[in-house]
Amino acid sequence: MNSNNNYADPYESYEELFDPLRTNRQARRKRRTKPNYKPKKTQEELIANTADIIGLEGGLQITYVPAKHEKMWLLRSLRPFYDQELISDVEALVKGGKEANVYRCAAHPATGQKWLAAKVYRPRMFRNLRNDQMYRRGRTTLTANGVPAKASDTRLMRALGKKTGFGQQVAHTSWLMHEYTALELLHGAGASVPKPFASGDNAILMSYIGDETGSAPTLNEIKLDEDEVWTLFQKVLRNIVLMLQYGRIHGDLSAYNILYWDRDVTLIDFPQIANSHVSKKTHVVGSAVNPDAEFILERDITRVCEYFSAQGVNCDPDAIFGDVWDRYVEDDTQQRLADASTWLEE
């Protein structure tokens, strides 16, 4: 069952960044009036030319032919994975989303995988960060190593506050590293998420769900068979609970961020992951609880229920939310406080 709709992408921001001729009117006019105009190149010539340029980018030969403005940031973002012998080719664009493009890469044999999915964040993020304020509350800023930035690093803190170019780069890296470290934590905990392989300045590499004919569809693209609906619903709920046991809430969970493959589900897209509470299992130094945690969790559960209700499951999002919040957030918090007071008494 696969009905991927790869949609066209305007790439307007890359055009600005990498093809000034298109945005600079004067330059465009000059180009138009050039007297020795030559007919357009044939498709084959263009492809050969692109392959040449890709070769010049340092020996990274890829099968996928990127659009002109996509080429630079794609190759720059994926080059380190190639150098680290994690990937050997970029085969296809899986999907171009608002914030990232995901590519199917041929995995290097040493990884033990046939393919890997590379999520390459858009350069637009540097200039126009998604309204992520709600999610950032209670989170630390993560550096490229995945460790929290030090509050004593005044240069970095000032840049973040002032939203300078450097500050935006730091915020961008942090956003991406929250996704990567979430995958590490949750995959290690046994959640149904892709296995993370590597992170770079502008991309993360993870296991690929799908095959050579296409990537796994997201739940919203398909209708589930009657005999699998209940099992898959339970599985999604189990993952929500598992995340809560680790003090985390997905934050953008819906049928759009759940992949379906081999009668199973995989949760994806974690940059906005939020802290539900200070859990017994995990506590990141410097991080706190997101004050909107209840709202964020309730919204995730409501969206999941919307999809599964439409597929025939009889579910009550309010009741589920109340139950899991009491059991996994309130009780865990009480327990942790009780444990702490025992230690104090000892």
Q: Which residues bind ligand ADP (CB under 6 A)?
A: 94-95, 97-100, 102, 117, 119, 194, 206, 208-210, 215-216, 218, 257, 268-269
Give, for 169, the enclosing helix (H) or strand (E): helix 165-188
CA angle 144, 292, 148 (to 5 degrees): 20
> Tokens in use for 233?
């619903």
3-state secondary structure 105-133: EEECHHHCCCEEEEEEECCHHHHCCCCCH
Q: How far is the CB of 256 from ligand ADP (least distance, A)?
A: 6
Tell me if 269 contacts Mg ion by CB under 5 A: yes
- Among ligand ADP, Mg ion, none, the one that 216 touches (CB under a kind-dependent 5 to 8 A) is ligand ADP
Q: How far is the CB of 14 from ligand ADP (least distance, A)?
A: 15
The answer to whether 261 and 285 are in contact (CB under 8 A) is no
Distance CA 136, CA 163 (A): 15
User: For ligand ADP, which is the closer residue by CB, 217 or 279?
Assistant: 217
- Among ligand ADP, Mg ion, none, the one that 272 touches (CB under a kind-dependent 5 to 8 A) is none
Q: What residue type is 267 in one-letter code?
A: L
User: For Mg ion, which is the closer residue by CB, 179 or 269?
Assistant: 269
Phi-psi region of 210 (alpha: psi -120 to 50; beta: other; left: phi over 0): left
Stretch that binds Mg ion, among 70-78, 115-123, 203-211, 253-261 (CB under 5 A): 253-261
Q: What residue type is 262 in one-letter code?
A: D
- Among Mg ion, ligand ADP, none, the one that 86 touches (CB under a kind-dependent 5 to 8 A) is none
Q: Quote the strand ranges of 219-280, DSSP E.
A: 248-249, 258-261, 264-267, 274-275
User: For ligand ADP, which is the closer residue by CB, 257 or 276?
Assistant: 257
The residue assigned the tokens 């991927």 is: 4
What does DSSP say about strands 100-107 and 115-121: parallel, antiparallel, or unpaired?
antiparallel
The secondary structure of residue 261, as a DSSP letter, is E
Q: How far is the CB of 97 from Mg ion (least distance, A)?
A: 6
Under 8 Å CB-to-CB from 101, ≥6 apart: which residues? 9, 70, 74, 93, 94, 95, 119, 120, 122
User: For Mg ion, which is the closer residue by CB, 54 or 176?
Assistant: 176
Tell me if 257 contacts Mg ion by CB under 5 A: yes
Distance CA 62, CA 105 (A): 9
User: For ligand ADP, which is the closer residue by CB, 92 or 149?
Assistant: 92
Under 8 Å CB-to-CB from 41, ≥6 apart: which residues? 49
Stretch that binds Mg ion, among 146-154, 228-236, 249-257, 312-320 (CB under 5 A): 249-257
Q: How far is the CB of 120 from ligand ADP (least distance, A)?
A: 10
Residue nearest ligand ADP by beta-carbon distance: 97
Stretch that binds Mg ion, among 166-174, 269-277, 282-290, 325-333 (CB under 5 A): 269-277
Q: How far is the CB of 251 from Mg ion (least distance, A)?
A: 11
> Tokens in use for 242?
């598992």
Q: How far is the CB of 182 from ligand ADP (least distance, A)?
A: 11
User: For ligand ADP, which is the closer residue by CB, 80 or 210?
Assistant: 210
- Among Mg ion, ligand ADP, none, the one that 76 touches (CB under a kind-dependent 5 to 8 A) is none
User: For Mg ion, which is the closer residue by CB, 167 or 271?
Assistant: 271
User: For Mg ion, which is the closer residue by CB, 215 or 257?
Assistant: 257
The answer to whether 201 and 168 are in contact (CB under 8 A) is no
User: For ligand ADP, which is the closer residue by CB, 100 or 159?
Assistant: 100
- Among Mg ion, ligand ADP, none, the one that 99 touches (CB under a kind-dependent 5 to 8 A) is ligand ADP
Alpha-carbon dihedral 59, 67, 115, 188, rounded to 10 degrees: 100
Distance CA 125, CA 146 (A): 19
Q: How far is the CB of 266 from Mg ion (least distance, A)?
A: 12
> By the criterion CB under 5 A, which residues form the site for Mg ion?
257, 269
